[in-house]
């Protein structure tokens, strides 16, 4: 159920609780967080833009109910996305990994989370105007002040990570990337190498292999594919999604678990030893997700799900 993030002293749950959709009702939020803790989840993922900071502030209420919890969990937050209208009306939505914004964003997150430090700070999106030396300076200041222990990225490819690594001189320990049975581009990019007719655009570019080679833990976001194949099939779902949902239901019956467990077991079966970031607030679904840790899919089951979710047989 747990694994150590390479290059750190952080022992973390393989299932991460994502706080993007924490309920605005304090009691509902605390119930969801307690359900995650009761299931053995020890890592919680935030971002300064989640509900415009309200998710971080809501989370801080748990310190009052769970004394000593801060030392028992791993707290991660992200920065780098700036919304339209921030700070003036004409400002567009943009990415900002400038030194000033990183430092300001961390201060804001620490204040809202009511904590002195983040275990991991993640750069949320690649900034086209990034100056790696500025990122390095921000990281150095945050480390020296004891405000951030480790650093990572999200939605970055291998080349973008390498550019940052050369300036920072310290490891980037995680990369949070979208990955699910319906969004398997990270794997598909390697499967279709040197083929003429890929089923869809390549969106991987060796990022999966880069992270494995450099001991960067991949955190799969949206691993449940918004529940589309685990009980919330959209009325307008395409044939690929319908077939995948049917296969998930078949395997769930065989393994005697909920569909959520099969969908997450597919992600966790990959030898990269990914983490899966879930966001459900339903205690029963949280438990169903954690049950994935007790499911080991065979190679044949994994490939059945891969090819069905992909929509095209592999060659």
How many CA atoms does the CB half-sphere of 12 hold within 13 Å?
29
| Res 17: pLDDT | 98
pLDDT for 64 equals 87
Q: Rounded to an integer, what distance in angstroms lies between the CA atom of residue 40 and that of residue 292?
A: 13
What are the backbone dihedrals phi and psi of residue 294, each rounded to the nearest 5 degrees, phi first? -100, 5
Give pLDDT, residue 204: 62
Spot the catalytic one: 2, 17, 50, 150.
50
| Residue with the two structure tokens 């790696």 | 132
**DSSP per position, 152-211:** EEES--HHHHHHHHHHH-S-EEEEEEE-BTTB-HHHHHHHTTT-S--SS----TTHHHHH
Q: Is 50 a known active-site residue?
A: yes
Cβ(251)–Cβ(301) under 8 Å?
yes
Q: pLDDT tens track of the chain, all 315 residues?
A: 899 999 999 999 999 999 999 988 888 999 999 999 999 999 999 999 999 889 999 999 999 888 899 999 999 999 999 999 988 999 999 999 999 999 999 999 999 999 999 999 999 999 999 999 999 999 999 999 999 999 999 999 999 999 999 999 889 999 999 999 999 999 988 887 767 666 556 666 899 999 999 999 999 999 999 999 998 999 999 999 999 999 999 999 999 999 999 999 999 999 999 999 999 999 999 999 999 999 999 999 999 999 999 998 888
Residues 57 and 23 sit within 8 Å (Cβ to Cβ): no
Superfamily of domain 2-310: NADP-dependent oxidoreductase domain (3.20.20.100)
Residue written as token pair 């050369």? 166
Return the pLDDT at 211. Answer: 97
Q: What is the pLDDT of residue 201?
A: 61
271 φψ region: left (φ > 0), alpha (ψ -120 to 50), beta (else): alpha
Q: How many CB atoms lie within 10 A of CB 212?
A: 15
Rounded alpha-carbon distances, angstroms, from residue 2 to 16, 27, 38, 268: 11, 28, 15, 12
pTM (two decimals): 0.95
Angle between helical axes of 259-268 and 239-255 (0-180°, round to 10): 100
Strand partners, 82: 94
Query: Residue 199: what pLDDT?
Result: 58
């Amino acid at each position: 159920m747990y694994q150590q993030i390479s290059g750190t002293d952080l022992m973390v749950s393989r299932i991460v609780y994502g706080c993007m959709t924490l309920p605005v009702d304090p009691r509902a939020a605390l119930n969801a967080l307690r359900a995650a803790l009761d299931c053995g989840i020890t890592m919680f993922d935030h971002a300064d833009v989640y509900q415009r900071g309200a998710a971080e502030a809501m989370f801080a209420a748990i310190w009052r109910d769970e004394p000593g919890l801060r030392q028992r969990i791993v707290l991660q937050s992200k920065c780098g996305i700036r919304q339209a209208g921030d700070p003036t009306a004409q400002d567009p939505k943009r990415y900002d990994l400038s030194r000033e914004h990183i430092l300001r964003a961390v201060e804001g997150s620490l204040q809202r989370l009511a904590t002195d430090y983040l275990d991991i700070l993640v750069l949320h999106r690649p900034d086209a105007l990034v100056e790696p030396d500025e990122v390095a300076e921000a990281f150095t200041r945050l480390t020296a002040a004891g405000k951030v222990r480790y650093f990572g990225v999200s939605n970055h490819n291998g080349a973008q990570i390498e550019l940052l690594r050369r300036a920072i001189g310290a490891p980037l320990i995680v990369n949070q990337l979208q990955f699910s049975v319906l969004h398997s581009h990270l794997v598909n990019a390697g499967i279709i190498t040197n083929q003429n007719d890929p089923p869809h655009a390549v969106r991987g570019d060796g990022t999966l292999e880069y992270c494995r080679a450099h001991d960067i833990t991949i955190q799969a976001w949206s691993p449940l594919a918004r529940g589309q194949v685990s009980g919330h099939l959209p009325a307008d779902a395409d044939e690929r999604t319908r077939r995948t949902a049917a296969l998930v239901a078949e395997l769930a019956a065989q393994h005697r678990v909920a569909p959520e467990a099969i969908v997450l077991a597919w992600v966790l079966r990959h030898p990269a030893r990914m983490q899966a970031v879930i966001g459900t607030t339903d205690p029963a679904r949280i438990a169903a997700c954690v049950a994935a840790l007790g499911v080991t899919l065979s190679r044949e089951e994994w490939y059945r799900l891969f090819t069905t979710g992909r929509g095209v047989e592999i060659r």
